[in-house]
Structure 1
Amino acid sequence: MQRLLAPSIVYDPPTLLYTILTQPVKTLIQLLDLTFNLLRPKPKPGQPAIRVASHVPDGDLLVHAGDLANLGNVEEIQPQIDWLNSLPHQHKVVIAGNHDRHLDPRSRGTLPSNDRNDAVNWRGLWYLQHSSVTLNFDGGRQLSIYGAPQTPATQKDDHAFRYPQDSDAWSDTVPRDVDILVTHTPPKYHLDLPAALGCEHLLREVWKVQPALHVFGHIHAGKSDFVGMLKGGNEVIRWDDGQRTLEHAMTRPNGFFRGIIDPRSWLDVARVVYYGVGNVLWEQIWGGSSPDSTRMVLASLMYCNTGELRNLPQVVYI
């Protein structure tokens, strides 16, 4: 039964039945949180609003969150750069992903010798690699953007920008005044499948920075599991006690009976309902102010791990 219901590899989405059997209370908590978030007021974009596209649709800012190529040599990467450069957006920001081997000196040596010395011409793109840029937009708005490509390694491989899964590659690396954070890996528990394949250290760093927008990729199937599909590949995170409760609940052990009989799991449910109802009443009925928030966007266009670009592009206003 495990073999029939579980994902074939760690990056594939599990079936809904498998998710319910292994994470019954966690799934309930996520559905409750999603419901309460839909009832709360949406964050208002700045003025004038800036249209951010994660691929192809017209907008003020185009963001590419990594994996320009598959093999990762210049022969693959340069045509993608040339195509992105041809698009009409006012600014275009790009980071690398774990497949972009040529861009990481440590993994470049895994490429054939004739691919190692070629140069990449970024043309009119802003390429960010552990770096930031401040961009001016029509209408007078200015945005600070920071990009970083590193991803946790689930196993030994020769991919680019990898770090050991349990090590901290994020603390105090992101500027505190950043408006848009672009990373290849997602933060843990956010659009990273029920297996929670994102990085917990990045999550702690995002709690500190709280950017208006966080764009990431890597876990292509993060919008294809049950909860990811309901979220549509993006979600609004409000930095309050309700969010802390939700993320703490996701740390509970998996297992159907373990989840059902563990009183701490049901205490988590009660807390999520308490904060959810309280926040909706405060913001929608009493007119109270909302906490700071971040819109998180999974920008992957690839459907699961098929190699087919079947996911819809993401467009947001900030």
Structure 2
Amino acid sequence: MASPYDIPPLHLQLQHPLKLLARLLHYLLSLLYPDRHARRNITVVCISDTHCLIPKAPLPYGDILIHAGDLTNAGTPSELQAQIDWLAGLPHQHKVVVAGNHDTWLDPESRKTLSDAKEREGKVDWKGIHYLQNTSVTLDFPNRTSLNAGKITLFGAPHTPDKLGPQHAFQYPRGTDVWSDAIPDDTDILVTHSPPAYHLDLPSVRAMGDEFLLQEVRRVKPLLHVFGHIHAGKSDFLGLLRGGQEVVRWDASERYLEETLRYGAPGGVLDGPVRVYYLGMMVVSGVLEMVREVVFDWEVKSTRMVNAAMVFCNTGRIGNGAQVVHI
């Protein structure tokens, strides 16, 4: 039986043809929208899910290096320190890290599962790296960006849905809302280990991201959202087409896309007709929004979402490059 964290087999995806069609049409519509970012003087390099591995190829240089969690496999302080030492030695001016579910020691609850008392009582030295655990940091880039007089605020949170075992850090039961009003309004760059639902999270059968996180990202509308956790989310057909990045415009078309992709709803005998309605409205509203942007210069707020997982699917080896974003 295939793992829900793997790319779903084709026969399962074909059982949800409207979801496949919705994702493809939404991608094609996204190609028609104008790119409105006026200044792009800050380079953000995004990685995640290195799992104790160090890429053989050098990471691209940038002003900010973000690691969105799962630095380790067993989550011991020694594994964490090895990854921290590697990150600290890189030339990027600012480095920001959040924990992932494999980073056991960083969560006081999962830390108790470490078998070695020395590991449980160990320490790590972050060496100037900004470790964010439901906290923010503001970085100053004077005269470098049009954002907030050169100040960029990042907020990081480690939580992921699903309970995979007590050794996994910062987990909560799927369907539990841990996100509402959790992200500060002034967040420019959001870093989470979990993806939001329906975006770069294998939504063709069952989205593996968190819907409450999606709602919170919609409320705050950060410029950039970096995550990982679902390695294969950037490697299925649409993930490859998008290159592991997706610009999400917070308009009516996005709402209809979510309804089309929502797992298990609508249900019953109306499942087909209602999904067809949502799909049709996604296309119609998407075209109307595009015309308003192109013809009438109507700007809709958007968030660039990045799945930064470096391990390729669940192979245990690095097969994905770093993601680079200019803001």
How high is the TM-score relative to the length of structure 2? 0.89
Q: How does 1:92-131 map to 2 (within 5 A)?
A: 92-111=95-114, 112-131=116-135
| Matched residue, 2:222 | 211
| Matched residue, 1:50 | 42
Query: Quick check: 2:18–2:260 contact (8 Å CA) kept in 1?
Result: no
* Mapped partners of 1:203, 1:130: distance in 2: 17
Amino acid at match of 1:171: S
Q: CA deviation at 1:139?
A: 3.0
| Matched residue, 1:293 | 302
| Matched residue, 1:88 | 91
The size of the alignment, in residue pairs, is 307
* Mapped partners of 1:98, 1:173: distance in 2: 19
Correspondence 1:34 to 2:44: no
Q: 1:201 aligns with which of 191, 212, 217?
A: 212
Q: CA deviation at 1:16?
A: 3.5
| Matched residue, 1:272 | 282
Q: How does 1:56-75 map to 2 (within 5 A)?
A: 56-75=59-78
Q: How does 1:217-232 map to 2 (within 5 A)?
A: 217-232=228-243
* Mapped partners of 1:42, 1:32: distance in 2: 19
Q: CA deviation at 1:153?
A: 1.5
Q: How does 1:243-282 map to 2 (within 5 A)?
A: 243-251=254-262, 253=264, 262-282=272-292
* Mapped partners of 1:209, 1:231: distance in 2: 23
User: How well do the aligned residues superpose, as a CA RMSD in angstroms?
Assistant: 1.9
Deviations 1:183-239 (A, max 9, x none): 000011111113201111111111111000000010011011122122111100001
Query: Quick check: 2:198–2:261 contact (8 Å CA) kept in 1?
Result: yes
How high is the TM-score relative to the length of structure 1? 0.92
* Mapped partners of 1:126, 1:50: distance in 2: 18
Q: CA deviation at 1:254?
A: 8.3
When residues 167 and 252 of structure 1 are mapped into structure 2, their CA distance, relative to the original with a 3 A threshold, is closer
| Matched residue, 2:180 | 171
| Matched residue, 2:53 | none
Query: Quick check: 2:45–2:324 contact (8 Å CA) kept in 1?
Result: yes
Amino acid at match of 2:129: L
Deviations 1:106-156 (A, max 9, x none): 011111212011111001211100100100125342100000001111544
* Mapped partners of 1:77, 1:134: distance in 2: 24
Query: Quick check: 1:53–1:315 contact (8 Å CA) kept in 2?
Result: yes
Amino acid at match of 1:279: E
Amino acid at match of 2:28: T
* Mapped partners of 2:93, 2:263: distance in 1: 45
Q: What residue ranges of structure 2 are gaps of 5+ in the alignment?
A: 48-58, 145-149
Query: Quick check: 2:40–2:326 contact (8 Å CA) kept in 1?
Result: no
